[in-house]
Structure 1
Amino acid sequence: MTAPLQGWYHSWVAALRIARRDAWRAKGRSSLVLAMLALPIVGVSAADLTLRSAELSPEQSVTRMIGTADARVSHSHMSGPINQSPDSRTSAPVGGYKAYDPSKSTRDKPEPVESALPPGAQVLKDSSGYAKVRTTHGLLDTQLREIDAHSPLVKGMITLDRGRLPENPGEVIATRAFLKDSGFFVGSSVTPRGATSPYKIVGAYELPDELGRPEIIAPPGTLIAPLNKALTESGGRTVTPDDSYLVKVGGAGVTWDAVKAANAKSLLVLSRAVILDPPADSEVPLYRDEPASKFQGEGNKVVETAILATVVGLAMLEICLLAGPAFAVGARRSRRQLGLVGANGGDRRHIRSIVLSGGLVIGAVAAVTGTVVGILLTVVLRPVLEETLGNRFGGFDFRPLELAGIALLAVFTGLLAAIVPAVTASRQTVLASLTGRRGIRRANRVLPVLGLIAVAVGASIALYGTTSKLGSTVVAGGSALAELGIVALTPVLVGLFGRLGRWLPLSPRLALRDAVRNRGRTAPAVAAVLAAVAGTVAVATYQQSNDVQMRQEYRADLPHGTGLLQASENGAYKEVPALREVLSRELPLAQRADVDRLVVGKPSCESYSSDPGCGRAEVITPKDQRCPLYEDAKGSDAFTEAQRRELRQDWRCQEPWHGMEHSVLVGDDKLLSVLAVTDPGTVAALKSGQAVSFDKRQVKDGKLTLRIITDQGENDIMTGRYDETPGEDKVLPVHLAPDSAEGWGVELILPPTAAKAAGLTTAPVGSFFSLDGTASTEQRQKLDGEIDRMGVDTSLRIEAGYQGDNSIVMLALAVFAGLVTIGAAGIATGLAQADAEADLKTLAAVGAAPRVRRTLSGFQCGVVALMGVVLGSAAGILPAVGLRLTQQREAESLYRRSIEQGYTSLTEAAPFVPISVPWETLGGLLVVVPLGAALLAALVTRSSGALARRAAG
C-alpha cells in the first residue's frame, strides 16, 4: 500500500508545482481569476469580523445599559401586576391584554421603587425627556437627561471624550452627535426652548450603544425641573420625564424571583444576574400565554439564514460561471504542456489533477489574500464602521474557525470552477494536444434536455405557488429552478443566436461565429450575465408593480399643489401672524386662507391639552345617527355576523377620513377655494355666516351640536381615565356639504361671525394656501431658514402627489446589472482575445485593417452582453409575475373574508395588485449596456498586434 500512496502524493505535488508555475507565467489571467475569487472573500470576511465585533457579549451589553449597577427598575405605566421577559423588553398585564381593563384600575400612586428592594440598597435616579433645544441652525429635538455622572454606578454607560463632568447647576455635558448637529462645541452655552437661562457645555461624551443620539446630561434637579417651571409660567407644554432607577444590592444581585416579586408591584426590572443567567422559558410567566418564539423572533432568524444561504449560493454560481472559462482557456493555452505529460506516461488522472491544481493554487492564494485584506479593511475602517452601525465595538472578535471556513469557500469555488475544464482537457488525445488541434466534439445532448425539463418544471412550480398556501416560497423555488434550466440551455441558445450572423457585416459576423464556435467559453459568460440581469429584472418588475399599486392607493392630504402651514405648540401660536407673512414673502402663493382654532380655557390651551383648566370643543353625533356597532356595551360581539355585515354597509358606520390635527376650523370662503370645494350652495352658505359640515352623521334637521368640555384635570392616557366636566352645548345652524365635496380631514368650518355669535374663543393656528406654479428647492430652503430663525415649532406640507423612490431603486438596479454585465462580457472578451490570438494574427497577416482587431473585440464583448441581457430579461419576468399573482390571491382572499365578516363595505373597491413591466429599465439594459460594453472593449483593445514567428514543427 505504500507505493500507491507515494505515487498519489508525488503526482499531486508535481501537479501543484506545474500549476503554480503556469499561474505565475500567465499573470494577467491568474490575476483576473484571483480577483474574482478573492473579492467575495474580502466582503464576507470583513462582514463576519464586523458583525462579530459589533455583537456584544451579555456582560458588555448589560454594562452599557445599567453601568455597574445590579439592575435598572422603572414603573411599567400599567396598573396592577405584570409579567415581563427576562430582558425586560416585553411586558404584559397578568392574564394578557384581553383580560386587562384599564378603566378598572385604581388611581393610587404607584409603588415606590424602594418597596421592592432589600434594605440598604443603593439607588440612583435617572430621568430623561425630550425637548427642543436652540442651536446655531434653529431647533433640535434633544433628549434631556438628569443623572449623577460622577456616581460609580454610571461607569460604562457613557464615555467622556473631552472636557469634564458637570458638577454645578448650569453645567451640562453633551454627546458628540449633539455637538455635530447643533454646531456647538465644548465651552458653548446651550438653551432649551422655554428655559430662562443658558447652560454651559463643559464636556463631550458618547453613548457607546447609540452614537447618533443628541443628548445632554445635567446634575439631578438642575435641568428638567427648572425648565418645566419656566414652561408652566409661560404657558408652554412641559417635558414629561421618564424616570428609572439604577440599583446596587450586592451579593448575588437581583435574582429572577426578585424580578417577579417586583413585577407584582407593577415594576419593570432589567437585571444583570438575569441577563447573564436567564431562566428557562418554562419559568417565565409571560411565555405561558404566548410562545417564547413570538417575542424572540425565531422565524425571522430562519428567513435570514435562508436568504444568506441563497445569496452565498448565487455568488458561488456567478464566480464559477466566470472563472470556469478562464481555467478552460488556461488549459488550452497549456495544451502542449499537457500533451507532453501524456506522452511521458501520464494518464487522464494526471491531466485532471494539473488543471484542478490550478484552481486549488489560485483558490488558496485568493483565500489568504481575501481574508487578510478583509481583516485589514475592518481594522482600518473601524471608526467608519462604528459610526455607520451606530455603536462601538466591544473589541475585535476574531473567530478563526469562521474565517477559515470563509477562506475555504474560495478554495472550494476555485476547484468547482476548474472541474469542467479539467475533465475537458483530460479527454483530449495526446496527438491533438501536441499538434494544437482542438478536434471535433459532439454537442452534449443531455444537458439541453435537462434544461428544458428544469424550465418546464420550474415554471409549473412557480405558477402553482401562486395558488399555494406556501405562496412566495414556492414561487421563488420554482423560479430558481427555471433559471437554472435556462442556464443549462445557454449553449444551445448561443447556437441559435449564431444563425443571425449571415445577415451581419464582417466584424459582428466574425464575433458571433467565434462566440458560437467556442461555446465552452461563451456560454458560462452569457449565463453569468443572464443570472445577474434576471435578478435585476425580477426586482425591477416587482418594484415597478408595487409602485403602480402604491400610486393607486395613495391618498392625498390636500388638493394637488396646495399646502398647509400650522403651528404645532403653544409657543408657536403667538408667532402665527409672523409666520403667515414669511409664507407670503418666500413662496409664490396664488391664494392664502388663514384659519383659527377654537380655544377652551386659558389662551395657552391646545385642543388636545391635558393640563388642568384646559378643555376642548367636540362635535356631538346625534344618538340615532351613531353606528350601532360602537354604541352597544358589548361592542360588535353583540351582533351576529350577518348583522355586522349589514351594518358595515350602513351610512352611519362609514367613517370619514379625519386627518387634521384640528378638525374644527374657523375660516372664510377662501378656505373652500383652497380646498377645491366649488359647490355653489356650500360657498354661499359660508359667505352668509353659516357653518359648513362635511360629515352628514353630525347634522340633523340642519343643526349641529358643539359641546364644550372643560376642567380635564389630571388625565391618565394609559388607564383611559379622564376628569372631564361637560360644559354648555352650542347648537349651530349648519349647511351639509354634498358627498362629492372633499373636506380633506376637516369636519366643520365655522365662519368668524358664527364663532363670535356662539361665544366661542378663537386663536390663530395657521394658513392653507395654493401655489402659483410650484415652489422651488431654493424657496423652500429660504422658508425653512426663516422659520428656524424665528425659533418656533411648526409643520409645513405641500401636497405634491405620490412621490415614490422607485426611480432611484430602478437606477441602482440598472447600474448594478450594467456593471456585472460589462464585467462578465469583458472577461469573456479578454479570454476570447487570449484564446483567438492566432486568428487575430492571421487577420493581420492577410492584410486586415488595424481597426478590425479593435472592432472585433468590441463586437465580441457586445455579443456576449446582448445575449445575456436578452435571456436574463426573459428569465427575470417569471418570478416577479409569480410573486405579484401570489400577492393578488392573498389580497383577494383577505378582501372576501373581510366582506363575509362585515369588516369591509361592498362599496369599497376590490384590491388592486397590478403587474407592470419596467420597459425603460429593460430598454436601458437591452441597448445601453451591450453598447457600453462594446465601446469599452473597443477602447481598451490595441488596434495592432505583433506578428508571431512560425512555430517549430
Structure 2
Amino acid sequence: MMTWYHSWRAAIRIARRDAWRSKGRSFLVLAMIALPILGVSAADLTLRSAELSTEQSLQRSLGAADARLSDPGMGGVPIMQSPDGMSYNPVGDFEDKPWPQGRTDVAKALPTGAKTLADTTGSAKLRTAHGLLHTEIRELKASDPMAKGLMDIVSGRLPQKADEVAATTHFLESSGLKVGSGLTARGFDREYRIVGSYELPDELDTDQVNALPGSMLAPLDKALQAAGFSGTSPSTTILATVPGGFTWNIVKDINTKGVTVNSRAVSLDPPADSEVPLFQEEGWGNYEESAAAKAAALAAVGTVVGLAMLEICLLAGPAFAVGARRSRRQLGLVGANGGDRRHIRAIVLGGGLVIGVAAAVVGTVLGLVLTYLLQPVLEGYMGKRFGHFDVRPLELFGIALLAVLTGLLAAIVPAITSSRQTVLASLTGRRGVRRSSRVLPVIGLIAVTLGAAIALYGSTMTDQVAVVAGGSALAELGVVALTPALVGLFGRIGRVLPLSPRLALRDAVRNRGRTAPAVAAVLAAVAGTVAVATYAASRDAQGEAEYQAQLPHGAVSMMIHEGGGRDVPAVRDTVQKLLPVDVRADVERVVVGKSSCSPYDSGDGCGRMDIVVPKANECPLWAWDPAHPDQDPGEKFTKAERRKLAEDWRCKEGSGGGVYTEGGLLIGDAKLLKVLGIDDPAAEKALAAGQVVSFDKRNVNAKGKIDMRLITDTDAADRAAEKGEEIPGEVKSFTAHQMPATAKSYGLPMLLAPSAAKSAGLTTAPLGAYYTTDTMPSTEQRQRLDGELDKTGTEVELHIEEGYTSESSIILLALTVFAGLITIGAAGIATGLAQADAEADLKTLAAVGAPPRVRRTLSGFQCGVVAAMGVVLGSAAGVLPAIGLRLTEKREQIGWYQKALDEGWGGAGSMPYVPIVVPWATLAALLVAVPLGAALLAALVTRSRGALARREAT
C-alpha cells in the first residue's frame, strides 16, 4: 500500500531529476533564494562573533584588574551609579543649586590594601612623515600584569625607558612611521624612539602612543603651554585590585566619595534593579531596553523579512511555473497512471522543496566560508576584533528554514494551477479556458482605498510615521492584488500597436497567471525605489533651501587662532601660491592681554573685548534680571507677547557662518567687502574714514556709534555682570556705518579698518585671510595645500565654499540600478514562461512564413511589456508613502515653529519650507530606460530560429 511517505519520496525524486535536467532555470531560482540567505547568515555570524561576552568585554576594559575607578567631575559630592558605571547622578536635589563640578582625588576613595595602576590619557599633535597628526597619548605601564589584555602587541616590545614609546598600528599607518623611527611632538624638542606596535582590540582605528607614566604628558604639557599652544588635557583613571574584588557594597561606598567604579565582580553578578539607587530615581528609564523598543525592533525585522520573502516568492513563482509548463506532459502521465491532484501538487511543491533545501545549504555554507575568509576585513570595517568565531547552529538552521519556506511558498501557486489541469489538457498541451478571480480585485480595491485613507490620516492628523508607513504598505499590497485586473486594462491599448507588441501584450493579458506575479515583483521593487527617491529628492530640495553659505561660491577663508598669529603670514602666502587666487583680503583680530591669547582663552593674562549693546536694543526675551537669576526672562510675558517679540528685529538671530572673534569684530580693509561680494561705495568710504561697518543694528546706539569695552580682568567682569553692576573696562567708541538689512554679510557682524584700530590704541594680531578664486580649486590643488599646511605645525581652519552638495545623488543612482536589475530579472522570468507557453504559436508563425526575427522581436516585446507595466504601476504606488511622510514632517516642523514663536525664540526664523519634489530623472530612467533595456536584452539572448516540430501522425 502506497503511503504518504512513499508518494512524497517519489515526488521529490521526480522534482530533483527535473531540476537537474533544467539546470539554467534551477540555478536562477537557487541563486535568487540563496543570495538573501547568504547575506543573513553572514550578518548573523558577524554580529554574534563581534558580540563580546561579559568576560571578554571586561578583559578589554579592565585587563586583569578588579575595577577601574574614574572621576566623574562632580567635585567629590556623593553620587549614585548604574552597575556598569556608565550612568550616574549626584545624590540630592540640585534644582535650585549650581550643578556640582570640579575634580575629585580618586586615590582617596580606594579601599585599604588595594593595589593600583594609573592609566593617564591626553592628546597632542605629533610630528609624522607627512606633517602633524592629532594623537592620543597614553601613559600606562602596559607590562604590569594588571594591564594584561588592554593592548595586544603586534611587533616589537612595550616601552621600558622614559624615552621609549609604543604606537598603535593605525598610528603607524597614518603617520608613515615604523618601529624604530624617532617621534617628536609640536613645540617639544625631546625625541622618543618607537620600540613596538600594538592594537586596541576594541578601537582598531585609534591613533595612540603608549609611554611610561610621567615620561611624556607632563613635560609635553608644560612645553606646549610655555609656547602658547593648548595643553594635552590629561585625565587619569585607576586600575585596582583588592582581595575578594569590588562588590556592590564596596562600589556604593566609593560612590559616597564622588567616584564611579566599573567593577568586574558587579558586571559578572549584577545586583537587582531594586538594589540600585539610581534606578529608583523618578523618570529613570531607557527606551532602548524597554519591552516597547524590543517589540518595535522585532516588528521592523519581521516586516523586512516578510517583504523580502514576498519579493523572492513573486520572482521565483513564475520560474516554478516555467518548470510546471515544460513538465506538463510528464505531470499528465502521472495523472494517466493513477495519480491524483495531490500527487501533481506534491511534485511541483517538491521542486520548491528541493531548490529551497539546496539554496539553504549553499547560502549557509557560503555565508560561513565568506565570513571566515573576510573576518579581518569585517573587523577593520567595524573597528574592533571579534571575540571569537561564534557559530550558532540553531540560528543558522532557522535562517536555512527561511530558504526552504520561501521555496515552498514560491511553488504553491504553480502547484495549484498545475493540479487543476485535466489529464487530457496536459497530454495534448491544450490550455483550456482560464478565468481570472473576481474576488481578488475587490479585495485589492478595498486595501488600496483603506491604505490610502490611513496614510492620509497619518500625514494630516497625527505625528506617527508608523501610521503613514502602515497605510502605504497596505495600499501597495492592494495594488499587488489588483495587478491581474490592471494587466487586463493594459490589454486595451493593444489594438493600436504593431503586430509584435500587440501579440506580446495580448499574450501577457491572456496568461495573467504568469504575468501578474512578475509585474507585482517589478511593482514592489519600483514602488520602494520611487518612494525613497521622492523622499530623498524632497529632503534634498529642503536642504538646499535651508543651506547657509559661509562665503560666496568659490571663495576661501583661512583662520589661525592659536600662537598669537605668528604663523599667519606664511600660511597666507602658502594658500595664495597653491590656489587660483584672484583677490586676497587679510584680516586681524583684537587682542586684550597677552598677544598669544586666542579668542577662546580666559585668565592667565588673557582678557576679552565685549560690544556694549544699548539697553534699548536688547531683546526683552533675553534680558536677564540679576535679582532673579533663576527666572527665564520670557516667563514674564504672555504667549501673545512672546509671539510678537519673536518677530521684533531686536530678537532676530543672525544668519550664522563667519568666524568667531572678539565681540564679532574683524579688522580688515575694503578688499574683504569685495571678497564677500558687497559692492557698496558708501561702505568703502566709511572704512577709509575710520568708521565701523556694521551689519547688525543692535550694536549701534542712539548716537550712531558702537562702543567696545576692553576687559582685562574677566573674572571681575563676570562677577559684576552676575550682580548687575557696571562692568569694569576701558570703552572705545567708533562711528558706525549701518549696512542695509538686505546686505549679505555671511555671518560678519562688524568690520573696522586696520588704521582706525591702530589710531584708537587697539592691539591686534594676525588672524587669517579671505580669498576669491578664478576657478573652483581642484581636488589635486586641495591635497597639495593640505600637505603643505600639515608641515606648518599649526591648527589652520580652512574653508572652501562649494555651495550646497547633495548627498542623495549616489543613493538615487543605486536605487535606480537596483530597481532596474529586479525589473529585468522579473521580466526575464516572465519572458521565459511566455516562450514556453507560446512555443506552439511560434512554430505556427514560422510555418506560415514569418521571418526569423519575429522570435527575437516578440521575445523582446514580451519582456518589455512586463517591465513597462510593473514600472508604471510601481511609480504610481511609490509616490504615496513619500508624500505622506513629507506631509507628516511638514506638520511636525510647523508645530515646532509655532512652539518656538510661543516661547518667543527669535531663532524661529520664517515658516518652514517642506517641499515635495518628484525625481523626474529617476522616473524617466525607470519608465523609459529600464523597459527598453529589458526588451533589448531579451531580444539579444533569444534564438532567431526554432526547430519545426514534425507533424504528428493521425
- 1:811-853 deviation line (CA, Å, top 9, x unaligned): 1111111111112222222333344333334444444333322
Shift of 1:528: 0.5
Partner of residue 575, structure 1: 567
1:795-874 aligned within 5 A:
795-874=797-876
CA distance in 2, matches of 1:924, 1:222: 63
Q: Aligned to 2:302, which of 309, 328, 335? A: 309
Q: Secondary structure at 2:116's aligned position in 1?
A: strand
Identity %: 62
Distance 1:558 1:825, change over 3 A: same
Partner of residue 476, structure 2: 483
CA distance in 1, matches of 2:293, 2:666: 46
CA distance in 2, matches of 1:123, 1:713: 39
CA distance in 1, matches of 2:273, 2:513: 57
CA distance in 2, matches of 1:153, 1:560: 56
More deviation in 75-84 or 866-875? 75-84
> Are residues 1:121 and 2:119 paired?
no
Partner of residue 206, structure 1: 199
CA distance in 2, matches of 1:568, 1:817: 50
Partner of residue 652, structure 1: 650
> Are residues 1:81 and 2:78 paired?
yes
Distance 1:769 1:950, change over 3 A: same
More deviation in 549-558 or 461-470? 461-470
Partner of residue 283, structure 2: 290
CA-atom RMSD in angstroms? 2.5
Q: Secondary structure at 1:137's aligned position in 2?
A: coil
CA distance in 2, matches of 1:654, 1:748: 17
CA distance in 1, matches of 2:481, 2:438: 11
Shift of 1:449: 1.4
More deviation in 91-100 or 589-598? 91-100
CA distance in 2, matches of 1:460, 1:213: 52
CA distance in 1, matches of 2:293, 2:178: 43
Instruction: Give the residue type in structure 1 aligned to 2:688.
Output: K
Q: Secondary structure at 1:596's aligned position in 2?
A: strand
Partner of residue 173, structure 1: 166
Partner of residue 666, structure 2: 665
Partner of residue 508, structure 1: 501
> Are residues 1:783 and 2:788 paired?
no
> Are residues 1:57 and 2:53 paired?
yes
Distance 1:72 1:295, change over 3 A: farther
CA distance in 2, matches of 1:807, 1:297: 37
Distance 1:673 1:338, change over 3 A: same
Distance 1:500 1:649, change over 3 A: closer
Partner of residue 602, structure 2: 610
1:194-233 aligned within 5 A:
194-233=187-226
C-alpha contact 2:450 2:475 (8 A) present in aligned 1: yes
Partner of residue 314, structure 2: 321
Shift of 1:159: 0.8
Shift of 1:216: 1.1
CA distance in 1, matches of 2:574, 2:288: 50
CA distance in 2, matches of 1:789, 1:826: 58
Distance 1:295 1:603, change over 3 A: farther
Instruction: Give the residue type in structure 2 aligned to 1:687.
Output: A
Q: Secondary structure at 1:198's aligned position in 2?
A: strand
C-alpha contact 2:463 2:891 (8 A) present in aligned 1: no
CA distance in 1, matches of 2:596, 2:292: 50
Distance 1:96 1:531, change over 3 A: farther
Instruction: Give the residue type in structure 2 aligned to 1:261.
Output: D
Instruction: Give the residue type in structure 2 aligned to 1:648.
Output: A
1:371-450 aligned within 5 A:
371-450=364-443
C-alpha contact 2:711 2:717 (8 A) present in aligned 1: no
C-alpha contact 1:176 1:204 (8 A) present in aligned 2: yes
More deviation in 48-57 or 733-742? 733-742
- 1:647-700 deviation line (CA, Å, top 9, x unaligned): 434433333345422122111122222223334433221111122333322221
Distance 1:646 1:256, change over 3 A: farther
CA distance in 2, matches of 1:95, 1:834: 80
- 1:873-932 deviation line (CA, Å, top 9, x unaligned): 0110010011111111222222223323333589x4211111110001100111111111
Instruction: Give the residue type in structure 2 aligned to 1:620.
Output: V
Distance 1:838 1:98, change over 3 A: farther
Partner of residue 69, structure 1: 65
Shift of 1:500: 2.3
More deviation in 650-659 or 440-449? 650-659
CA distance in 1, matches of 2:953, 2:203: 72
Shift of 1:396: 1.4
CA distance in 2, matches of 1:944, 1:136: 67
- 1:236-273 deviation line (CA, Å, top 9, x unaligned): 2211112211111231x222333333333222222222
CA distance in 2, matches of 1:294, 1:304: 12
- 1:151-182 deviation line (CA, Å, top 9, x unaligned): 11221111111111111122111111111111
Distance 1:274 1:292, change over 3 A: farther
Partner of residue 104, structure 2: 111
C-alpha contact 1:892 1:911 (8 A) present in aligned 2: yes
Shift of 1:52: 0.8
TM-score (norm. length: structure 1): 0.94
More deviation in 864-873 or 683-692? 683-692
More deviation in 260-269 or 455-464? 260-269
Partner of residue 93, structure 1: 90
Q: Secondary structure at 2:334's aligned position in 1?
A: helix
CA distance in 1, matches of 2:823, 2:953: 40
Shift of 1:949: 4.2
CA distance in 1, matches of 2:681, 2:802: 27
C-alpha contact 1:451 1:487 (8 A) present in aligned 2: yes
Partner of residue 917, structure 2: 916
Instruction: Give the residue type in structure 2 aligned to 1:85.
Output: S
Partner of residue 578, structure 2: 586
CA distance in 2, matches of 1:168, 1:714: 47
- 1:524-550 deviation line (CA, Å, top 9, x unaligned): 111101100000000000011111111
C-alpha contact 2:463 2:888 (8 A) present in aligned 1: no
C-alpha contact 2:321 2:833 (8 A) present in aligned 1: no
Q: Secondary structure at 2:527's aligned position in 1?
A: helix
Distance 1:406 1:267, change over 3 A: same
CA distance in 2, matches of 1:478, 1:658: 40
Q: Aligned to 1:619, which of 601, 611, 617? A: 611
Q: Secondary structure at 1:889's aligned position in 2?
A: helix
Q: Secondary structure at 1:706's aligned position in 2?
A: strand
Instruction: Give the residue type in structure 2 aligned to 1:263.
Output: N
Shift of 1:951: 5.7
Shift of 1:802: 1.3
Distance 1:637 1:307, change over 3 A: same
> Are residues 1:45 and 2:41 paired?
yes
Partner of residue 275, structure 1: 267
- 1:109-151 deviation line (CA, Å, top 9, x unaligned): 7432122221111111111122222222222221111111101
More deviation in 818-827 or 406-415? 818-827
Shift of 1:416: 0.9
Which runs of 5 or more structure 2 residues have no equivalent in the other structure?
none
Instruction: Give the residue type in structure 1 aligned to 2:98.
Output: D
> Are residues 1:597 and 2:589 paired?
yes
CA distance in 2, matches of 1:728, 1:904: 31
Distance 1:388 1:948, change over 3 A: farther
Partner of residue 694, structure 2: 693
Partner of residue 6, structure 2: 10
CA distance in 1, matches of 2:358, 2:222: 69
Partner of residue 903, structure 1: 905
Instruction: Give the residue type in structure 1 aligned to 2:752.
Output: L
